[in-house]
Amino acid sequence: MSIQKLGVIGVGQMGSGIVQVAAQAGLTVLASDKDGSRNEKAKAKIEKGLSRLVEKGKLSDEDLKATLGRITWTTSLQDFADQDLVIEAITENPQAKEELFKQLDEICSEKTVLATNTSSISVTRLAAVTRRPNKFIGLHFFNPVPVMKLLEVIKALSTDEATYAVAKEIGEKLNKQIVTAQDSAAFIVNRTLIPFLNEAAFVLYEGVGTAEDIDQAIKLGLNHPMGPLELSDFVGLDVVLAVLDVLYREFGDVKYRACPLLRKYVEAGWLGRKTGRGFYNYA
């Protein structure tokens, strides 16, 4: 299959990044959020990101216009009938994702491959709500999508080889390096990363160090581009907590118990950069 038409549903941090790189790669992209104002925000973000590339001399004005011209914005799922591949990047909520995939399965033509950008939920479970579980796969991107090189591909139990080939093709088209993970909770990267971020929250909670010192120590001591608290704020504390809760439920192992401080911050609506406050204050 040659993927020409890509649909992306949910245009928050991850979805808008996927839309941008796909349009830059020459694909025709249909982007949708059920909330139209999020479409407007994503559109502005992509325009800003591409304009920065023009300023740096990495993209011409014509290419910027052509890239934006390849993106169509909609709030209607009905418009997705004729896509080759549809990537879901909505909120990390299993019920919401299941509901969306049931609807997409009804709307999309037989050829359409469905994919989820979930960071932790069972891809097999999501595949099973459709009548095309063989044409279903996990495509896990990383934030910021235009910068991060990795695409983690997750095969559901039911995914067939033709669908895996589509995943490889989209990875190549978007200039990402592929790593394939089995469908086990949080896959490879988040299974490793999220307990680390949680441990940093415990280190803060127990007063072992200040937020600044924890981040500085990890940056300088381990050569990480961001400290773990800064990275948690960047990813979203709600996302970090949601992944931890999935790991805890799935494996029943106390090592995945979320730090109470992290849970409290989420309850307060302190979700990190996107709300202006998390471990740090961005106001």
Site residues, ligand 3HC (CB under 6 A):
49, 52, 119, 142-144, 146-148, 190, 193, 225-226, 231, 235, 239
CB of 220 to ligand 3HC, least distance (A): 14
Q: Give 146 or 209: the residue with its C-beta nearer to ligand 3HC.
A: 146
CB atoms within 10 A of CB 13: 19
Q: Indicate which residue of 16, 119, 120, 158 is catalytic.
A: 119
Task: Cite the DSSP H helix spans in the chain.
Answer: 13-24, 36-55, 61-69, 94-107, 123-127, 161-173, 189-205, 211-222, 228-235, 237-251, 260-267
As measured in angstroms, the least distance from the Cβ of 117 to ligand 3HC is 8
Establish whether 119 is a catalytic residue. yes
Using the minimum distance from each CB to ligand 3HC, give the nearer residue, 77 or 235: 235
> Contact, 53 vs 26, CB < 8 A?
no
Round to whole Å and give the CA distance between 115 and 144: 19
| Nearest distance, CB of residue 253 and ligand 3HC, angstroms | 20
**Which residue in the list 152, 158, 230, 232 is annotated as catalytic?**
152
* Per annotation, catalytic residue among 122, 190, 198, 232: 190
Active site residue 223: no
The CB-nearest residue to ligand 3HC is 119
Identity of the residue, 33 or 230, whose beta carbon is nearer to ligand 3HC in the bound complex: 230
Both tokens of residue 143? 């934030």
CB within 8 A of 270, min separation 6: which ones? 237, 277, 278
In b/e form, how buried is each residue of 176-192, taking b as 16+ CB within 10 angstroms? beeeebebebbbbebbe
190 is catalytic: yes
Q: Which is nearer to ligand 3HC, 124 or 143 (CB)?
A: 143
What is the smallest separation between the CB atom of 235 and ligand 3HC, expressed in angstroms?
4
Per the annotation, the verdict on 117 as an active-site residue is no
Is there a contact between 48 and 16 (Cβ–Cβ < 8 Å)? no
Q: Catalytic residue positions? A: 119, 140, 152, 190
